[in-house]
Structure 1
């Protein structure tokens, strides 16, 4: 099945596309794939939906930690894998023991694209089932696309298998919703300024200022103090609820609930510097929301009247 303006996936020609840069240069491969993406859609977009088993190397979301939060699709692919390239300690070792004990395991931590791409390419070309296992969902701060583009450029097809991101595990742990009627109409997934994000690109204060946004901060445990100090300096209410969920869904999960004014002290007292999700907003407490219209009288009025 194809559509106008839709191009195919990787071909034999792509594998030797020296005019797009040397095969061992991932950045050249990424740039080349980006240009192809701008020119036309991939025909696999209309051929497949999320959850379909496809040809190639799947980039699987391992979920937030608890092995039971791995998707069925992810479980099936891992059980068939010969090689699993995983995200190190970000993936629960219990999940690896339960679903990957039959496969060769490679920890991707400390390895660059120049090492990872040939490793996965060669294994795939040798006829092995290769799975790239990311933590959470690879679409959220996963750096998956650059690996996929580099593999596709060398003729290795790839696809994404969604996972449960830590924000959803955190809301389940907190026994609340990230969106609540008359409390939070929006959710922002973001990260604080640092090595890869300039102060101008940090919009946390703007999200909090909107009032009806639940702000979920990834990769920011080490910067909780600095983030809260900036929010206070910007005039935000120090009583605004904040939760920090360390290792959401892991056996050692810990939940710290406080406010913009005091959460930094709690985090520092606990000694957490990484592996926690920060949630800011009134939805943290699950209080003060209004009943939705979904189950109001208006939803059943038509069926009731028609039965009279």
Structure 2
């Protein structure tokens, strides 16, 4: 960090400038660390760790080890299970990021790191999915504090496990879309939920939209989506109070209103929800016993990677 008091690098005072500068730098070339580290490496700096969907056992081994060594853990408040904090952050100071803006979070983490503390930034789920992690990382990096991401289990995967299905199924769902509904953060023209569902072979996973399920389903019907399209809502996936609501585009809005859920649920739309009418994959088909010289085996091998 510069000693010049007039230098524009103070991310605590102007985090947007740090974000803009980092974006401009990426346009000029890739960070050399991309070629030096893989996602599982121990690295220098503040790790942005995915806490997983809720159950402490779904935290990764890497995340567990980093929390065990931490002096300060800045976490996502009630989005992170308090049992996880109690079990893995016994010796750390824990601070919730809820209600704090970048101007407060950045100096908190920077000062602790520069004082020699081991700092962990703990996000819910996976930091790469609606985590708002990069803006914090860019601001810290502009202050000379290195950062990196440690992946976590995102709630869509926990929901699929609860539903005892796959998000991709041959003949039923060849694609997965992670999305969110229109609202304060997303303009109506950028809401593509109907486009994804209309494709038919897409499993659409809606984050941050529990409060808007009834309105979203009404819009889908208005835009010509089959009202009988299967939908599941998994509230607090993997938490002790997990709940599952199943229905269709036509019915799920009333179900979630009756349940009173307004947040913290994963909405899954598509044929994968019921795991019905899917086709057997090639993975355990007759081609598996063919020799390596069989051309059809090569084609099937490509199919296996997609499955």
Normalising by structure 2, report the TM-score.
0.93
Q: 1:128 to 1:21 in 2, by over 3 A?
A: closer
The farther-off stretch of 15-24 and 106-115 is 15-24
* 1:250-285 deviation line (CA, Å, top 9, x unaligned): 000000000001001110110000000000000000
Give the superposition deviation at 1:146: 0.1
Gaps of 5+ in 2: 295-307
Question: Among residues 47, 50, 61, which one is paired with 1:72 in the alignment?
Answer: 61
Residue by residue over 1:73-131, the C-alpha shift from the partner in whole angstroms, topping out at 9 and shown as x without a partner, is 00000000000000000000000000002100100000000000000000000000000
Distance (whole Å) between structure 2 residues aligned to residue 21 and residue 301 of structure 1: 61
Q: Give the aligned partner of residue 130 of structure 1.
A: 119
Give the whole-Å Cα distance in 2 for the aligned partners of 1:22 and 1:69: 37
User: What are structure 1's unaligned runs of at least 5 residues?
Assistant: 1-11
Residue number in structure 2 paired with 1:207: 196
Do residues 33 (structure 1) and 22 (structure 2) align?
yes
Matched, 1:102 2:91: yes
Match of 2:288 in 1: 299
**Partner residue in 2 for 1:173:** 162
Structure 1 residue 16 displacement after superposition: 5.9
**CA distance in structure 2 between the aligned counterparts of 1:112 and 1:44, rounded to whole angstroms:** 28
Kindly indicate whether the alpha-carbon contact (under 8 Å) linking 2:106 and 2:136 is maintained by their aligned counterparts in 1.
Answer: yes
Instruction: For residue 18 of structure 1, report the CA deviation from its aligned partner.
Output: 5.3
Change (3 A) 1:176 1:66: same
Contact 1:189 1:217 (8 Å CA) reproduced? yes
* Equivalent position of 2:245 in the other structure: 256
Alpha carbons 1:181, 1:289 under 8 Å: kept:
yes
Aligned residue pairs: how many? 293
Would you say the 8 A contact 1:20–1:32 is kept in 2?
A: no
Q: Name the residue aligned to 2:279.
A: 290
How far apart are residue 303 of structure 1 and its match?
A: 6.7
Within 5 A, what are the aligned runs for 1:268-287?
A: 268-287=257-276
Any idea what the Cα deviations from partners look like across 1:18-67, whole Å, max 9, x if unmatched? 55454421111111111111111111100000011100000000000000
Indicate whether 1:116 and 2:105 are aligned.
yes
CA-based RMSD:
1.5
Matched residue, 1:243: 232
